[in-house]
């Protein structure tokens, strides 16, 4: 098959959508399919190269609402002409921004089936905070508008996909009309190299009581809440560590809170690490627990990656996180209760027998998200759409 994937976020950016897009494209390419990725152009970005994958870049200007994002042209005749000449079979967009519009236009002009994946709950008030801060009434109004915006994109698709059942139900609740299919983001279980884990431990001054967070430093990741929980952990286990890997627009606020909470000796900020380097860094093996207090995940790539390395996860009992953590089995799901969140981390750091059993369960349950099984689903999905077109 010849497949065109449009995405407004791609390398050199590092986020869950980028990782999901790269894993999907590589998985399909490895099976002989030809993939054309249409993404924004970034200055000084390394060229992305992989057998059977061709990347086409569109010029753009910085988006005002989210650092790193770009607005491109909503219509590009050159791209349309090339996709037609390459006899594209199916068009797939990953993001509902300007390149999403390009995908919709291309599918209509070329009369090809269109798939849209709903990765990000941009309708949540924590995302809307990037546009409007400290004005709850305006945020709630924008939330209603944002669902209209989402419907305008995804109801033009032949099929909508999303990575978790909870996300599907939220889309149905908010009256999206087109068929919706759940397909996990997936994880390449063999992409990690932990041979350098001891070096990582030394580099970041970690110990056997280290909690890991990986992700962008943004409102929707709820890191202020995580710091409050971690403060309670340190109150019981004074040498506990929290390693935060990532960067983002709220980094300054995060640093200020770390100082205010007197956690400078316990929290390590590793900054942003390029994804390929992160997989080979040994960081996952150097840590013991993965914690996420985000309530906006449609699934959570970083949680998948942590589980693939056997890290027991503690997360919020919300949305896509519930698709990866089974409470009391491979981790803990916590309602909005900082004390309970901290207590579960303390339990895992203190009870080695319990931890080992949960780690075993984690490694068992992650297998259903193996990228090879996910690619099987995508091949079947694309083929069915092409057949019906």
Q: Which of 301, 296, 294, 299 is nearest to 316 (CA)?
A: 294
Which residue, chain included where needed, has tokens 């589980």? 307
224 vs 323: CA distance, rounded Å: 24
197-368 has the same fold as 2-186+370-388? yes
Phi, psi dihedral angles at 5 (to 5 degrees): -115, 120
- Residue 138's pLDDT is 46
Please tell me what DSSP assigns to residue 320: G
178 vs 124: CA distance, rounded Å: 21
| Sequence-separated (6 or more) residues with CB below 8 Å from residue 71 | 60, 61, 62, 63, 97, 98
User: Could you count the other beta carbons within 10 Å of the beta carbon of residue 206?
Assistant: 20
| Inter-residue contact 36 to 88 (CB < 8 Å) | yes
197 vs 324: CA distance, rounded Å: 25
- Residue 65's pLDDT is 61
The alpha carbons of the chain give a radius of gyration, in whole angstroms, of 21
| Inter-residue contact 307 to 319 (CB < 8 Å) | no
User: In which order are the strands placed within the sheet that holds 34-40?
Assistant: 53-58, 34-40, 2-6, 90-93, 114-117, 159-162, 180-182
Is residue 75 classed as helix, strand or coil in its secondary structure?
coil
Please tell me what DSSP assigns to residue 219: G
Q: Which of 247, 1, 275, 15 is nearest to 119 (CA)?
A: 15
127 vs 139: CA distance, rounded Å: 10
Considering the domain 197-368 in this protein, what is its CATH number? Answer: 3.40.50.2000
Q: Which fold has domain 2-186+370-388?
A: Rossmann fold (3.40.50)
- Residue 125's pLDDT is 59
DSSP count for the chain of H helices, then E strands? 15, 15
The pTM of this model reads 0.91
295 vs 55: CA distance, rounded Å: 33
Tokens of 269: 């900020």
Q: What is the pLDDT along the chain (389 residues), one digit of tens a residue?
A: 999 999 999 999 888 999 999 999 999 999 999 999 999 998 877 889 999 999 999 998 887 666 667 889 999 999 999 999 999 999 999 999 999 999 999 999 999 999 999 998 876 655 445 444 554 544 556 767 889 999 999 999 999 999 999 999 999 999 999 999 999 999 999 999 999 999 999 999 999 999 999 999 988 899 999 999 999 999 999 999 999 999 998 999 999 999 999 999 999 999 999 999 999 999 999 999 999 999 989 999 999 999 999 999 999 999 999 999 999 999 999 999 999 999 999 999 999 999 999 999 999 999 999 999 999 999 999 999 999 87
Domain ranges in the chain are 2-186+370-388, 197-368
């Amino acid at each position: 098959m010849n497949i065109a994937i449009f995405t407004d976020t791609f390398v050199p950016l590092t986020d869950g959508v980028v990782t999901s897009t790269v894993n999907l494209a590589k998985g399909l390419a490895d099976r002989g399919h030809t993939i054309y990725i249409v993404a924004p152009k970034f200055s000084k970005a390394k060229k992305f190269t992989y057998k059977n994958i061709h990347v086409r870049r569109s010029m753009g200007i910085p988006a005002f609402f989210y650092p790193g994002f770009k607005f491109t042209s909503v219509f590009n005749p050159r791209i349309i002409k090339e996709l037609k000449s390459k006899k594209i079979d199916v068009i797939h967009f990953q993001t509902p921004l300007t390149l999403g519009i390009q995908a919709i236009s291309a599918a209509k002009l070329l009369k090809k089936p269109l798939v849209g994946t709903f990765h990000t709950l941009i309708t949540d008030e924590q995302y809307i905070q990037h546009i409007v801060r400290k004005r709850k009434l305006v945020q709630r109004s924008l939330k209603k508008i944002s669902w209209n915006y989402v419907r305008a994109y995804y109801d033009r698709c032949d099929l909508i996909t999303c990575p978790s059942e909870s996300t599907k139900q939220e889309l149905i609740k908010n009256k999206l009309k087109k068929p919706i299919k759940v397909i996990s983001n997936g994880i390449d279980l063999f992409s990690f190299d932990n041979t350098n884990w001891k070096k990582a431990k030394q580099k970041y001054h970690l110990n056997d009581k280290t909690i890991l967070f990986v992700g962008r430093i943004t409102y929707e990741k709820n890191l202020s809440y995580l710091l409050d929980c971690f403060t309670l952990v340190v109150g019981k286990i004074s040498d506990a560590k929290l390693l935060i890997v990532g960067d983002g627009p709220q980094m300054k606020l995060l640093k200020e809170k770390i100082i205010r909470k007197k956690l400078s000796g316990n929290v390590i900020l590793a900054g942003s690490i390029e994804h390929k380097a992160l997989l080979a860094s040994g960081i996952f093996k150097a840590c013991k627990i993965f914690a996420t207090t985000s309530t906006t995940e449609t699934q959570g790539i970083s949680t998948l990656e942590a589980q693939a390395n056997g890290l027991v996860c503690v997360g919020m009992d919300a949305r896509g996180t519930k698709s990866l953590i089974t409470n009391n089995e491979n981790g803990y799901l916590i309602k909005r209760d900082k004390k309970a969140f901290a207590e579960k981390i303390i339990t895992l750091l203190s009870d080695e027998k319990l931890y080992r059993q949960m780690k075993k369960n984690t490694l068992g349950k992650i297998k259903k998200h193996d990228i090879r099984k996910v690619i099987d689903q995508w091949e079947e999905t694309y083929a069915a759409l092409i057949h019906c077109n």
